[in-house]
Structure 1
Amino acid sequence: MRVLSSTSTAATLATWDNDELVRALAQDDEKAFAEIYERYWQPLHQQAVRKLGRHEDAEEVVQDLFVTLWNKRHTANIQQLDSYLFSALKYKVIDCVRAQLVRKTYAASSPNRFNAPNCCTEETVAATDLTQALDASLRNLPDHSREVFRLSRQEHQSVPEIAARLQVSPKTVEYHLSRSLRLLRAYLRDFLVVGLALVQLYN
């Protein structure tokens, strides 16, 4: 693998392919991380704006994505960098929409609630309740569906990557993802409005 020196230029970095950048990133190369950021910030931001509608929200989501990328640089299973980043973005957008819906739902149920000093605490409780409901729902999924969902949601793997890892067909992976979402909607009926938004973003 090539190693960047302190005198490496942006032009040199631009000649690296994604696999080289990923390997360098795993070895704590900040310049490789900066090059990934430079290559993908704009297209990721554009995609986030299309999903969220607000530049401010999109910037926050993409920034959080890159923070997560750096923090997980030693453990992330990145087969294809672009697929990994856009898949991770999808789930960051889902998390953002889910948080917005929780805030709106709680605000609508008690208009004065968010004028109180402890509003942030109540938002946190709402998000925690939803997270606990989701965790409980995941435990109720059949083993194969739960594993496929975990690889897709938590490890941000694409359908072909999951199929190769589990040695099944892509159609089987898609079936389990669809089944998981269908079952989760049923398990999370108390959070129906959130669930519908998540399904729309998955499709």
Structure 2
Amino acid sequence: MSASINDIELLAQLKTGSLEAFQYFYGAYRQWLYITAVSILKNEAEAQELVQDLFIDFWEKDLSSRIDLSSTNSLKNFLFVSIRNRCLNKIAKDATRSKRFKNILLPETYTYPQTRLENNELKEQLENAISQLPERQSIAFRLAYQEHKTRKEIAAFMDTSEETVKKQVANALKTLRESLKKILF
């Protein structure tokens, strides 16, 4: 096929179903369409797939018969609009699919019933272990780990020094680790 064929001649030959014209058409526009699709999608594999689908549709669905060069100005314009629309449709479809997928996922805060039961058991065991601590250690531990108070706030509340609070919390942690280790292992 002549390298100097224009869009009107090419389109006329494509409308007759010429395989040679289609091969020329494919060779002339494939790379350009691929680059255009990659620039929109930012994904080479998806771009290649859309370009292939466009050429398949062009051949199988005889898209050449739908092209009116008087309104599109050129075959290249028609192809650009076609690949751009396919890319935008792909992006929209992927966004919709992602949104639907997120809607069926369980929230991060969801705990499975078995996990909830295990957590409740652990909470009970921890509460039991904390209640067996000496009173001052229990108070210091609860304020530090359950109410997230600073040593300074705990010391003021308990009317003691920060160093004493530090020792009481450390002793409480040591005792709780030993108690829970016996229960859990």
Q: TM-score, normalised by structure 2?
A: 0.51
**Is this contact kept in 1: 2:58–2:64, CA < 8 A?**
no
Query: In 2, distance between residues paired with 1:91 and 1:72?
Result: 18
Note closer, same or farther for the CA distance 1:23–1:88 as it changes in structure 2 (3 Å cut): same
Cα offset for 1:15?
2.7
Task: Give per-residue Cα distances to partners, 1:116-140, cap 9 Å, x unaligned.
Answer: xxxxxxxxxxxxxxxxxxxxxxxxx
Output the CA distance in 2 between the equivalents of 1:44 and 1:63.
10
- Tell me if the contact between 2:50 and 2:87 (Cα under 8 Å) persists in the aligned partners: yes
Q: Letter of the 2:35 partner, please give it.
A: Q
Preserved CA contact (<8 Å) 2:34 2:48: yes
Return the alpha-carbon distance in structure 2 between the equivalents of residues 33 and 104 of structure 1: 37
- CA–CA distance in structure 2, aligned partners of residues 108 and 61 of structure 1: 25
Tell me whether 1:97 sits opposite 2:87 in the alignment.
no
Deviation at 1:34, TM superposition (A): 1.1
Rounded to whole Å, the distance in 2 between the matches of 1:18 and 1:46 is: 21
Contact 2:54 / 2:83 at 8 angstroms: preserved in 1?
A: yes
Counterparts of 1:73 and 1:26, CA distance in 2? 9
Equivalent pair of 1:22/1:78 in contact (CA under 8 Å) = no
The 5 Å alignment of 1:177-196 reads none
Computing the radius of gyration over CA atoms, which structure comes out larger, 1 or 2? 2
Following the alignment from structure 1 to structure 2, what is the Cα–Cα distance between the partners of residues 73 and 13?
Answer: 22
Separation in 1 of the partners of 2:51 and 2:2?
Answer: 22
Compared with structure 1, are the counterparts of its residues 15 and 74 closer, same or farther at alpha carbon in structure 2 (3 Å cutoff)?
closer
Unaligned runs of 5+ in 2: 107-185
Residue matched to 1:201? none
Work out which structure has the larger RCO, using CA pairs closer than 8 Å and 6 or more positions apart in sequence.
1
Q: Please report the RMSD computed on the Cα atoms of aligned residues, expressed in angstroms.
A: 1.5
Runs of 4 or more off by more than 4 Å in structure 1?
A: none
Aligned length: 101
How do 1:1-203 residues align onto structure 2 when only pairs under 5 Å count?
A: 12-70=1-59, 71-73=61-63, 75-79=65-69, 80-111=74-105
Identical amino acids, percent of aligned pairs = 25
Q: Could you tell me which amino acid in structure 2 is paired with residue 46 of structure 1?
A: I
Give the Cα–Cα distance (whole angstroms) in 1 for the partners of residues 95 and 22 of structure 2.
33
